[in-house]
Every structure is written in structure tokens, then in C-alpha cells.
A = this chain, B = another copy of it.
Amino acid sequence: MNTIRICLLSIVCGMLAATNLTAQAFKGLALTPPMGWNSWNTFRMDINEQLIRETADAMASSGMKDAGYTYVVIDDGWASGRDEEGYLVPDPERFPSGIKALADYVHSLGLKLGIYACAGTQTCGGKPGSRGYEYQDARTFARWEVDFVKYDWCHTGTQSAVDSYRTMSDAIRKAGRPMVFSICEWGKNEPWKWGEGIGHMWRTTGDIADSWDGTLSDGSQANGLGWTQILDMQVGLDKYAGPDHWNDPDMLIVGMGNLNPNEYRAHFTMWCMLAAPLMAGNDLRKMDRTTLGILTHKELLEINQDHMGIQAFKVVDEGDLEVWIKDLKGEDLAVCFLNRGDEDYSLTFDWEVIGLRVVYRIRDVWARKNTGNTRSFFEATVPARDVILLRLKK
């Protein structure tokens, strides 16, 4: 019997080592906020493999990939059911080649593939939920060589959020493939208080709409939150964010069409300030130069991707005008003046307000020019519904 016992022991040790390795594979996957694209904002459930391929092509060829966008995320609508063994089956009409083939294609472009699942009995769109299938689904995603899992919160009854997400998190680790785990629980159960270590990012609010303040241009209510409404809900959450555990104020609306360039610029700038995951939500295949210019602004993305991983906080709130600050590496600071009003805002800003102890050189990020230093007051006009973003350099 000794021989057998030694063999069993070897297996156990091997399993422990493997467990350790997969845990390591999970950790460190999102040391800076994940960047990519997600199908939901523009396409909802109307998705197919051709769209995903073309989007990946566009991401690779447009300059998005070079700017740092990596994840091509298939949101709800890809699954049609489960096979006899309980494994998820992609919709045979929309994804006839299967998800593995899509992953191979996306990988061949140097990009990564994301997929969607849901903690409840069904997805939000009525597709099969992962409740009770967590380990099997995580294994499926790993076999398909998926790199990112967005995990939604519909049809969850009275499930415990923390335990539901922990179960899928454990399942992903067990599956052994590095996959970013995106908690999409809409902030219902304060995921910022328990999400670290379970997922790499967690939604803090309900869904975003392509809207400034929750209304549309005809005065009707948008199907979701305007981005400034979401912004207001981020106040106080900055202390919960950091490398590998990000607050997620939802995907980007830049270039979707309802807002003006200055409005999208303001939205994108604030998402960068918030150290938010940057998941484009527009149709990458039909992007104009303005949209691309916003999404790929190098100096702005450097602020979002700063290795310190510190989320901006609001230091001034003067009605329409807000000032937000984000600490950056090398003791640099990003300072954003956000004008939420419909009138231009003439500004004279005393650097004492934010307690600067040394003199910084000033870089105007959107103007792409150096504009003096912090010895004197900062004077500028922030256009209506726009931002001025400064990087203060030591």
C-alpha cells in the first residue's frame, strides 16, 4: 500500500501546486484599467461573429490597438442554450464557427477576447444563466481561450451577490486560464466593499445611456443614466479603487451619436480621471476622426493608465464647475476643470486651493501645449459642457 499512498500524495501535491499557479494567473491581470470594446452599447442583442471579427479588424487597424485597447468583448446574445452535458452552446446562426474560432481570430490580431455570462438563472436578455453551472461555464470559457468574463446580475432572485460572484471567481481560478473577471452587479450591493480579490473591476451603477444627463435631445428620458449622473455617483468611491480592483462607471458612449464632440471629450476625460476601465461602446467600423481622436488621445490615456492606479476625487464643486484631481506617478497631478453648464465658464484658479507645496510646470492635455507653471493663478475659459485638463509636472 505504501506505493499507492505515495502516488496519491504526489497527485495531491501536484493539485496544490496547480491551484497556486492558477491563483497567480488570476492576480495581476488588470494592474491598470482594462481597455477594449464591448458590443452592448451599440448592438444590444443583435450580434454575430462577423460583427466581432470586423470590430477586431477595426480595433487593430484604426490605431485603437496601438493606443492600448485590447479586449473585444462579446456581450449578451451569443449563447443559444446548453447541450446534454450542460455546456453552453453558441447561437448556431449568429456564431456558426463557435467562440474558440473567434478567439483564435482575435488572438491572431494581437487582441484578446471577452465574453458575457450572468449570475442568475437567465441572462438579462433571456439566454442561459450560469447559476448552478459556474465551474462548468468557467471551464468552457477557458477552453475557448477567452480572456475576459463580464458577469451580469439579472434573474438572481434573493441570491447573495458576494457569494454568487465569489463562486464564479473561484470557478475562473479553478479553470486555470488567466481571465479578467468583470463584476456587473450595478452597484446594488456596494461591490466596492467586497469586490477586491473577487473580481478585477465592478460596476458601480446601472447602465449608461448615450446622454449627458439622462435626457435625450427631444427632452425624453434616456434608457439608462446620463454620464454626468453616473459621475455624481462616483464621489466617495475613489478609496476603493486600485491596481487589479477598479470601480467601473460603465462603458464609454464616445462616438455613439447623441452628443457633441465637446460633450464626449468631457465624458472621456472624466472616465480617464476616474481610472475607469475604458471599454468603447461605439461602432468601431464606422468611427469618424473626431471619435478616434478622443478615444486614442495618448496623453489622456497615460493619465487613465497611470501605474499608481489612483482614482480622481472632486476637490471643488461650484455648481456648474467642478475640479477633480488625480495623483499620478512621479508626484505628477492631473487637474480637470469640468464645466457641466450650458455657458462658458471664466476661471481664475488659485493653486493654493489644492495645497500645492512646490511649483509645477503645466501641460494642457487637450491643447497639447505647455502653459507656464503654478507660480501664478490659472486663468482660462472652460467652454460649455467641456473640460480643461491639465497635467502638472514636477
Query: Which residues of A does B touch, CB under 8 Å?
Result: 85-86, 121, 131-136, 139, 156-160, 162-163, 166-168, 170-171
A172 shortest CB reach to chain B, Å: 10
* A160/B158 contact (C-beta < 8 A), A86-B135, A136-B136, A171-B132 known: yes
Set B85, B121, B159: member contacting A160, Cβ < 8 A? B159
Question: What is the bound-complex CA distance between A139 and B171, given in angstroms?
Answer: 19
- Count this chain's copies in the assembly: 2
Question: What is the bound-complex CA distance between A163 and B161, given in angstroms?
Answer: 11
Residues of B within 8 A of A136 (CB): 86, 133, 135-136
A4 shortest CB reach to chain B, Å: 9
Question: What is the bound-complex CA distance between A163 and B131, given in angstroms?
Answer: 10
Question: What is the bound-complex CA distance between A133 and B137, given in angstroms?
Answer: 10
* A131/B167 contact (C-beta < 8 A), A158-B160, A160-B157, A160-B158 known: yes
Question: What is the bound-complex CA distance between A156 and B163, given in angstroms?
Answer: 8
Question: What is the bound-complex CA distance between A159 and B121, given in angstroms?
Answer: 15
Question: What is the bound-complex CA distance between A379 and B131, given in angstroms?
Answer: 59
Residues of B within 8 A of A160 (CB): 157-160, 163
Question: What is the bound-complex CA distance between A14 and B373, given in angstroms?
Answer: 74
Q: Is the CB of B158 within 8 A of A162?
A: yes
Q: Identify the interface centre among A132, A168, A170, A171: most chain B CB within 10 Å of its CB.
A: A132
Q: Is the CB of A166 within 8 A of B157?
A: yes
A136 shortest CB reach to chain B, Å: 6
Question: What is the bound-complex CA distance between A85 and B167, given in angstroms?
Answer: 17
Question: What is the bound-complex CA distance between A8 and B168, given in angstroms?
Answer: 31
Set B133, B157, B167: member contacting A162, Cβ < 8 A? B157
Question: What is the bound-complex CA distance between A158 and B160, given in angstroms?
Answer: 6
A128 shortest CB reach to chain B, Å: 10
Residues of B within 8 A of A170 (CB): 121, 132
A79 shortest CB reach to chain B, Å: 15
A-B contact pairs, 23 of them (CB 8 A): A86-B135, A86-B136, A121-B170, A131-B134, A131-B163, A131-B167, A132-B132, A132-B134, A132-B168, A133-B136, A135-B136, A136-B136, A156-B163, A157-B163, A157-B166, A158-B160, A158-B162, A158-B163, A159-B159, A159-B160, A159-B163, A160-B160, A160-B163
Across the interface, name the chain B residue whose C-beta is closest to A137.
B132
Residues of B within 8 A of A158 (CB): 160, 162-163
Set B133, B162, B166: member contacting A135, Cβ < 8 A? B133
A177 shortest CB reach to chain B, Å: 14
Across the interface, name the chain B residue whose C-beta is closest to A167.
B132
A217 shortest CB reach to chain B, Å: 40
A360 shortest CB reach to chain B, Å: 47
A143 shortest CB reach to chain B, Å: 11
Q: Identify the interface centre among A86, A121, A156: most chain B CB within 10 Å of its CB.
A: A86
Question: What is the bound-complex CA distance between A160 and B85, given in angstroms?
Answer: 26
Question: What is the bound-complex CA distance between A85 and B142, given in angstroms?
Answer: 12
Q: Is the CB of A86 within 8 A of B139?
A: yes
